[in-house]
Amino acid sequence: MKELILEMEDYAQEKNVPIIEKKSIAFIMKYIKDNNVKNILEIGAAIGYSAILMASATNDAFVTTIERDEERYMECLKNVKKCGLDKKINVVFQDALDVNLSEDLKYDLIFIDAAKGQYERFFEKYKYFLKEDGAIITDNLKFHGYVGKSDKIESKNLKGLVQKIENYIDFLKENEEFDTTFYDIGDGLSVSTWKDEK
Ligand code: SAM
């Protein structure tokens, strides 16, 4: 398992696949243990690196992870199988904005780690699948140090993306339904929980 994790880190670097930073996944794995998290939904599987680590955090953590890129989805399936975690990880090949999840299952943890420009849409779509005492964790809120400095960025595309993350941070701060704590860990993480347990 440890070997496969290292292989995945090498593969990600070689093929330029963005995967979560070590400190951030360590934080999430601790959150899973401390909060007795069982059902996890991940938006953005890539090659399965974070899904595999989340599913290994405890004996009863189960992950559903969504990926829209076919090559990464295939690689993710392969890695999940190699780790022997196919009973704990369900990989869905679809755009997360088109997925229709069963309304019977609610999640203890939703981890948003897909297209940065769509964070708010993912949050609004998937909050209905979050348990009363669950949490939504979002990664990359510092976006390599660019967030908070969008006015100084010259590239139009990068500026637009960073502005979207800045808007998402404001959306979380001003949110009437959720309280959010921001952590300066890895590339910047947030943990959002329902204001009032419903
Ligand atoms: N969570 C992964 C990890 O740490 O190992 C990394 C995920 S990577 C940062 C983001 C992934 O989200 C990419 O592989 C991308 O193809 C996928 N993605 C982006 N937008 C998506 C969407 N709308 N639906 C599904 N997957 C999406």
Each domain of the chain, given as residue ranges in start order, spans 2-194
What 8-state DSSP symbol labels residue 8?
A: H
Atom number of ligand 1 nearest to Cα 140: 9
What's the token pair of residue 136? 């939504």
Choose which residue among 10, 113, 140, 142 to substitute to test ligand 1 binding: the one with the highest number of ligand atoms within 8 A of its C-beta: 113
CATH class as words, domain 2-194: alpha beta
Best mutation site among 7, 28, 69, 139 for ligand 1 pocket (most ligand atoms within 8 Å of CB): 69
Q: How far is the CA of 114 from the centre of ligand 1 (A)?
A: 4
Burial class (CB in 10 A: 0-12, 13-18, 19+), 82: middle
Q: Whose CA is nearest to atom 26 of ligand 1?
A: 67
The rounded distance, in Å, linking the Cα atoms of 84 and 134 is 27
Instruction: Find the residues whose C-beta lies inside 6 A of ligand 1.
Output: 18-20, 44, 46, 49-50, 66-69, 72, 95-97, 113-115, 118
CA-CA distance, 29 to 50, in Å (whole number)? 9
Q: What is the pLDDT along the chain (198 residues), one digit of tens a residue?
A: 889 999 999 999 999 999 999 999 999 999 999 999 999 999 999 999 999 999 999 999 999 999 999 999 999 999 999 999 999 999 999 999 999 998 889 999 999 999 999 999 999 999 999 999 999 999 999 998 989 998 899 999 999 999 999 999 999 999 999 999 999 999 999 999 999 755
Query: 3-state SS of 40-94?
Result: EEEECCCCCHHHHHHHCCCCCCEEEEEECCHHHHHHHHHHHHHCCCCCCEEEEEC
Atom of ligand 1 lying closest to residue 25 CA? 4
Which pTM was predicted? 0.97
Closest by Cα among 126, 2, 1 to 65: 126
